[in-house]
Amino acid sequence: MKEIVLTGIKPTGTPHIANYFGAIKPALEMAEKFDNNFYFIADYHALNTIKSAEELKKHTYEVAATWLACGLDPKKVVFYRQSDIPEVFELNWILCNLTPKGLMNRAHAYKAMVQKNEEEGVDSDAGVNMGLYNYPILMAADILLFNTNYVPVGQDQKQHVEIAKEIARYFNNKYGEVFTYPKEIIRDEVKTVPGLDGRKMSKSYGNAIELFCEPSVLKKKIFSIVTDSSLPTDPKPTDHMIMELYKLFASAEEVKELENKFKAGIGWGEAKKILFEKSNEYLTPLRDKYNEIYENKEKIDEILKSGAERARSIAKQTLKKVRIAIGADRE
């Protein structure tokens, strides 16, 4: 079998512009370099933060439609929903019985929660559920079940791949060589996409521009970008967030032209109008495709079901080897 590259996508909110340029677009470009790509919607990972059934369903369809609209081809990659692969959760329990508690104690998300609680003077485990604590083990199951060779991650998630590799080592040393040792592919850090208030664009800051919002909403958000009280004839800084956002959508020539206008003097209203027109031009075909896909949820279900069938054909083989190794095979 050709080398497998696996990417997980957590459906915890409506995708925004920073998600697209920071994760979706680079991941799809990377897929062109490999022949065997697995993309999964990590809906059970999302349970750690989403407690509403309707919200989880909504975000799952939004994420699926987003990736399909942005160019993911389900005929060329394996695209599935995590919850459709029961083998993941059986393997998760098996791995739980091999993973030292100390390894989970060192996981970044758990350590950060403990540190926050200690700083606030409350119990160190306040607000910590077992989903958060065992999160890296479930991720290890996602990775190891498919004998994944490479996992593209940002620097902040490198530890998750390292933990998966360590758990694979525990298993292989105990039961024999069953699992492939995964390697991380560290994505080049994409320049931070600024939000409406100048800070990093984030749903938690409330400063995000949704990727597929209607043109009227897009325009309203762009025109709400914070600016100063300089006159239209005053030169404007070319590192302003309006320019940084414009660079995401425009060609090099267009960026140079707007930079010259900033240096010569341009009204903030005109600059925002230029940003809106260019971003809307870029996003309109993606938005149209997204809306068409999102409205056809039966088609999305078919695509994810087909992907799950392909994924399970591998998952079942791996789990059979695991069961034989631990003495739980029934045949």
pLDDT tens for each residue of 119-128 = 999 999 999 9
- Place 99 in a pLDDT band, splitting at 50, 70 and 90: very high
pLDDT of residue 266: 94
**Model confidence pLDDT, tens digit, residues 107-165:** 999 999 999 999 999 999 999 999 999 999 999 999 999 999 999 887 778 899 999 99
Say what the pLDDT of residue 191 is. 58
HEC profile of 162-193 = HHHHHHHHHHHHHHCCCCCCCEEEECCCCCCC
Burial of 256-265, coded b for 16+ CB within 10 Å and e otherwise, reads eebbebbeee
Q: Who wins on pLDDT, 13 or 281?
A: 281
pLDDT in tens, 180-190: 999 998 866 55
What is the rounded average pLDDT of the residues 229-233? 90
Structure tokens at 147: 């004998």
Which among 287, 214, 225, 279 has a CA at the least distance from the CA of 248?
279
Beta bridge partners of 153: 186
Annotated binding site for ATP: 10-12, 154-156, 193, 200-204
What integer is the mean pLDDT of 264-286? 96
Residue at token pair 């600024």: 194
* Mean pLDDT over each residue of the chain, to the nearest integer: 93
pLDDT confidence of residue 331: 63
Kindly report the backbone phi and psi dihedral angles of residue 76, in degrees, each rounded to the nearest multiple of 5, phi listed first: -100, -20
Which positions ≥6 away from 172 have C-beta within 8 Å? 178, 179
Cβ count near 319 (within 10 Å): 20
What residues are designated binding site for L-tryptophan? Answer: 142
Query: What is the band of 1 on the pLDDT scale with cuts at 50, 70, 90?
Result: low
Q: Is 269 exposed, middle or buried (0-12, 13-18, 19+ CB in 10 A)?
A: exposed
The phi, psi pair for 4, rounded to 5°, reads -105, 135
Nearest-angstrom CA–CA distance, 30 and 24: 10
Q: Which residues are annotated as a binding site?
A: 10-12, 142, 154-156, 193, 200-204
CB 156 within 8 A of CB 96: no
Model confidence pLDDT, tens digit, residues 15-53: 999 889 988 888 888 888 888 999 999 999 999 989 999
